Amino acid sequence: MTRPYTIRARCGVLVGGKSCRNPVSVGAVHCMRHRQFPEDAVNHPAHYGGEDNPYETIKVIEAWDLNFNLGNALKYISRAGKKDAAKAVEDLRKAKQYLDFEISRRSRG
């Protein structure tokens, strides 16, 4: 029996220049340790600073141990006006949306 989707067996997030080999559960993008990493920040595009930049977005997200919402907020702030100059305001709105998600999450209970 074949599955209708590809299972990515390994996480793939770069840590200290090495690709994370932790297993990924079905339906997840990264391993449990790196589950908060936004998928499109992982492949070192220039609008997130590039692989050689010590302040590359993905490295800052990891260094600050940000969760999914805050990681995405930082991602959209860092790329606003860089990935697509015409979408700078849209990127900032997305950052605000993720901040609102996090504020709601922390305000519950």
The footprint of Zn ion (CB under 5 A) covers 11, 13, 20, 22, 31, 34
Q: CB 40 → Zn ion: shortest distance, Å? A: 16
Please state, in angstroms and rounded to a whole number, the distance separating the CA atoms of residues 52 and 48: 11
Nearer to Zn ion, 44 or 87 (CB): 44
Q: CB 109 → Zn ion: shortest distance, Å? A: 29
Q: CB 22 → Zn ion: shortest distance, Å? A: 4
Taking a C-beta distance cutoff of 8 angstroms, is the pair 47, 83 a contact?
yes
Closest to 33 in 3D by CA, of 22, 25, 18: 22
Nearer to Zn ion, 22 or 36 (CB): 22
Please state, in angstroms and rounded to a whole number, the distance separating the CA atoms of residues 83 and 77: 11
Give the tokens for residue 102.
Answer: 């996090």
Nearer to Zn ion, 32 or 46 (CB): 32
